[in-house]
Each structure stands twice: as structure tokens, then as C-alpha cells.
Chains A and B, each alone.
Chain A
């Protein structure tokens, strides 16, 4: 049963610390998305990749957030330095353009709390 995995599932850190979240997309998928979900803003698209190349990161605060895909099986989202307003659930999703219908498969999320 192929699924997207994310680590860690929960992270509590202090303001100013670096946070790294990891995502393993479904094997063979060529698009990867990072979302942030909060009560106030709902679901926001932060960045996405196709064939490991970043296509759009306009939703991400550039000064502190960075997203990369070191290889096809790993996507990372880093926050440095973290701030309390970054507290949210971060979701990774993957898909494949060959299906033609844009379906995305979501991971279970990383719940980040910045104190």
C-alpha cells in the first residue's frame, strides 16, 4: 500500500531554532507539494516541485523557509530561525503528471509547535 511518509510527526522547539521536516513521496511520483494548515489561514500551498525542480515557492516566506529535493525519494522543508507564528501542521503531498487528473496523495503531516 503505497503512501507518503513524513517525519517527524510532532516537533516542539523553541523560537530561533532550526526545524527540518522530511517527506518521502510515493515511489514513481514526479510532483511534490508542501502545504501548511492553520486554523486561521486554512490550507496554504508553500512550494512544489516537478521532477525535483522547484516550480513555485511563492507561498513561502523566503527569508526563513527553504524547500529542497536532494533526490527523488526525499523532500525537505527547513525553517531557520523558527518563530511562534510558524506553529502549524505541515503536509507533504505527491502526484504524477502522467495520470492527467491532478490527484494528490497526502502524508499524515508534521505538527510543529514553536514556543
Chain B
């Protein structure tokens, strides 16, 4: 079946450092890809998405590009802030709005 693998955390960075969180997927067909973010005590929020190969999703300085050839959707940000500390989930969409989530990656940003 479809699956998503993302890098284990926690990832600990200093403020203004460059962030990469790796995500790879296995799927039949051409799924939509998502990054969700979960701040402490809250539900998941959509961060960005891409619906077809070579699309780049971007939001709040975060970016991810849908790479069909490497089945990847890595999340990047050029300069992280303390307020970016959260759990980040990579996900792919199956037919009918069902999402398959990765295990989540904890990001901690120190000032």
C-alpha cells in the first residue's frame, strides 16, 4: 500500500539556520503531497501542498517540490525562527480525501 517515510527527529537548530526535513513516498498513481504542521496543544494545519510533479508548494517561507523521479517532497526553509518549533508531518493523498501520514518530525529551534 501507499506509505510515507520522513526523517526521524528531533531536529534541533539555532535560529536563522537552514532547515531540511526529508520526506519520501511510495504510491500507485500520482498522489497530491502535503506538509502539515502541528504546534503544541493544537490540531494539524496545512502548511503547503503540491498536486502534480514539479509543482512547488510554498507558505510562510517554507518550500517543497514534488519530485516524481525521486518520489520525494522535502521541506525546506532558509532561516528558521523559534516560532517554527513544532511537529511537521508529510502526507500523500489517496482517492477520496484519505491521507497517508508520515510519523512526524519534531523541530526545535533555539534562540
Mark A residues whose CB is within 8 Å of B.
4, 31, 33, 42-43, 45, 48, 50, 55-56, 91, 93, 95-97, 100-109
Contact = CB atoms under 8 A, between A and B. Distances in A.
B94 interface: yes
B44 A106 contact: yes
B96 interface: yes
Nearest to B43: A106
A43 B103 CA distance: 7
B98 A48 contact: yes
A101 B49 contact: yes
B104 A96 contact: no
Given A101-B49, A101-B93, A102-B94, A107 B32 contact: no
B42 interface: yes
11 contacts: A33-B97, A33-B98, A43-B89, A43-B101, A91-B43, A97-B97, A101-B51, A102-B34, A103-B49, A104-B99, A108-B42
B45 interface: yes
Nearest to B50: A101
Given A42-B101, A104-B46, A106-B43, 5 more contacts: A42-B103, A96-B97, A106-B45, A109-B42, A109-B43
A103 B93 CA distance: 8
B43 A108 contact: yes
A108 to B, nearest CB: 5
A96 B46 CA distance: 15
A103 B89 contact: no
Contacts of A33: 97-99
Contacts of A101: 32, 49, 51, 93
Contacts of B103: 42
A77 B101 CA distance: 21
B96 to A, nearest CB: 6
A45 B34 CA distance: 17
Contacts of A95: 97
A71 to B, nearest CB: 19
